Amino acid sequence: MLPQARPQKLVVLTGAGMSAESGIETFRGAGGLWEGHRVEDVATPEAWSRNPDMVLRFYNERRRKLLAVEPNPGHRILAKWEKRMDVQIITQNVDDLHERAGSQRVLHLHGELMKSRSCGPKEHVMTMSDWEMKRTDRCPDGYPLRPHIVWFGESVPFMVHAFPIVEQADCVIVIGTSLQVYPAAQLAFEAGPGVPVILIDPNAEELAVPGARLLSMTASEGLEALDAHWFGA
Ligand code: OAD
């Protein structure tokens, strides 16, 4: 049973499945991004020290692909809801498809593909206008740049903001995440007592979130169903 009343404070947790219908690969499962790569070769600080060219190639390629795709109807529904109610998105995704659909309240736990960050002592974060990051690129202080991505083994600085946001929600929707990567996955279990949690994922039955209502559908299908339920669209 879906919650009848429209939420007052909706929190939406999104993972790679949110962007699958836009044509971006998920990470796990058949044909997933990690199937073609060893995580430790491309998504760790050690990989960056050992072979920065390989890391840059990996993220350049992902950026190039991102620039070639568009937000899907699911992204657009979330952006539309933000105009009608209090919606906060917390995403594990590094793409900018929520923003390109029009969502403004998006917390990126794992960084942002279209940003670069200084390797120097100051926290310079810069928005990129194109897909290519080069070894010779420098921050304003002359230090090398790295992708603005939280790699495996690094801390997730926005978790401290994310926990209270989820705890204050009166409805939580979890979309397209296998809930295998911590600490981000922990958020799916942090809703307050009695607060409805809705899982939208073709494999929703496999995700063990106690008491969650399951919509075993794609992100767009699930959000269209909820949109019709709450707004009669
Ligand atoms: P995963 O690839 O682990 O999980 C994707 C989820 O999306 C699975 O549960 C799929 O069933 C589901 N899915 C597939 N197609 C879908 C669709 N059309 N609509 C809705 N759901 C769909 O991705 P994440 O859980 O997001 O971190 O991965 C978490 C983190 O692991 C990523 O942020 C990344 C990765 O390693 C870093 O790189 C730090």
Report pLDDT digits (tens) over 26-35.
998 778 888 7
Residue of 118, 145, 148, 153 lying closest to 40 (CA atoms): 153
CB 71, CB 100: distance < 8 Å = yes
User: Does 148 participate in catalysis according to the annotation?
Assistant: no
Burial 148-167 (b: 16+ CB within 10 A, else e): bbbbeeeebebbeebeebbe
Could you tell me what percentage of the chain is helix, strand and coil, using 3-state DSSP and rounding each to the nearest 5?
Answer: 35, 20, 45
Question: Which alpha helices (DSSP H) does 117-218 contain, by range?
Answer: 159-167
Marked catalytic residue, from 98, 108, 110, 148: 110
Residue 25's DSSP bridge partners are: none
Which residues, in sequence order, are bridge partners of residue 197?
A: 172
pLDDT of residue 86: 98
CA–centroid distance, 155 to ligand 1, in Å, is: 19
In one-letter notation, the amino acid at residue 187 is L
Q: Whose CA is nearest to atom 23 of ligand 1?
A: 16
What confidence tier does 233 reach under pLDDT thresholds 50, 70, 90? Answer: low
The side-by-side arrangement of strands in the sheet containing 106-108 is 106-108, 86-91, 9-14, 171-175, 197-200, 213-215
Q: For residue range 136-180, what is the model confidence (pLDDT) as tens digits?
A: 999 999 999 999 999 999 999 999 999 999 999 999 999 999 999
Q: How remote is the CA of residue 194 from the centroid of ligand 1, in Å?
A: 26
The answer to whether the pTM exceeds 0.95 is: yes
Contact 166, 83 (CB under 8 A): no
